[in-house]
Amino acid sequence: MGKYMTNQRRVLLGYLESHRDEQLSAKEIAESLKQDGISQSAVYRNLSALEADGKVHRFTKGGDRESYYQYLDCDECHGQLHFSCCGCGHTFHVSEKVADVLSQALSFGEHFSLDKEETVLYGLCGQCKKKAKVTK
C-alpha cells in the first residue's frame, strides 16, 4: 500500500479481509465504504496501490466492463489459480494439486507455461452444476 497507514486504509483492508472469498467490484467496495466517509477516489487509488503490492488481484469477468478485486492476504493465495463460477459468481481457489495437473498438461502438450496469477477459469461450480441439471 502507500507509506502512511491512514484510517481509510485500515478500513479498506478490513473490508477486503472480511470478504476474502468474494470477487468485489470497485463500485461495490466504494458503495460499502461510503458510509465510513471514504471517497470513491480513495477507494480506487488504494485498490491500485494494493494491486501494485500484490495484495489484491484485479481482473475482469467475461465481457464485463468493470474490474473486480479479490484480497490475497495469505501466501498460499499468492500465485494461486482461480476459478470463477458463472452461476453464483463465487471465486474459488483451485487446489495446487489440480492446478499443477493443468500446468503440466499445458506444458507437455503445448509447451505453454501457465501464469496462474493472471488466469481465471470460468465455468460452473459443483452446486450450480446440480442446480442447472435440476432446472432442466
| Minimum separation from the CB atom of position 76 to a copy of itself (A) | 16
Stretch binding a copy of itself (CB under 8 A), from 4-12, 13-21, 36-44, 118-126:
118-126
The reply to whether 1 sits near a copy of itself by the rule CB under 8 A is no
Cβ of 54: how many Cβ atoms within 10 Å?
A: 11
- Name, in order, each residue with C-beta under 8 angstroms of 80's C-beta and a sequence gap of 6 or more: 72, 93, 94, 96, 99, 116, 117
| Minimum separation from the CB atom of position 3 to a copy of itself (A) | 23
**In this structure, are strands 91-93 and 67-71 parallel, antiparallel, or unpaired?**
unpaired
Tell me which residues touch DNA (CB under 7 A): 1-9, 25-27, 37-42, 44-46, 48, 65-67
